[in-house]
Amino acid sequence: MTQRILVVEDNKNNRSLIRDILIFHDYQVVVATDGQEGINLARELMPDLVLMDIQMPGMDGMTAGRILKADTATSGLKIIALTSFAMRGDEEKFLAAGFDGYLSKPLNTRKFPGQVKQWLDAGGYI
């Protein structure tokens, strides 16, 4: 069965880039543009992986990730933080919030498909 990935990202260009790469690798992709829409779609679809941008207007990704991880219905979802303001210490913040992984932007388009596959296959923090 095709694996479904929810991409929550407010930036149109990033959203399109991520979506195109994932579709090229035969994943089914659903997109959301803010945290609340992301939460709604995550609850409705229970995707195999959620790529969650951190900086978004409205509800940010950190808040949305925490809400999904605090809810027993969605706490098992694999949620990867996407951030463009990578700084030392961020990784600990994402781990503490319950995220399953961390990806800094700009995206390394060569490595990205392998990272996605690894998260889907094994889970765990990479």
Binding-site ranges for Mg ion (CB under 5 A)? 10, 53, 55-56
For Mg ion, give the closer residue by CB, 3 or 63.
63
Cα separation values, 40 from 85, 103, 122, Å: 26, 22, 25
CB of 59 to Mg ion, least distance (A): 12
CB of 114 to Mg ion, least distance (A): 23
Count other C-beta atoms under 10 Å from residue 99's C-beta: 24
Neighbours of 37 (CB within 10 A): 18
Min. distance of Cβ 10 from Mg ion in angstroms? 4
Per the rule left: phi > 0, alpha: psi between -120 and 50, beta: everything else, 11 is beta
Closest residue to Mg ion: CB criterion:
55
Q: 32 or 116: whose CB is closer to Mg ion?
A: 32
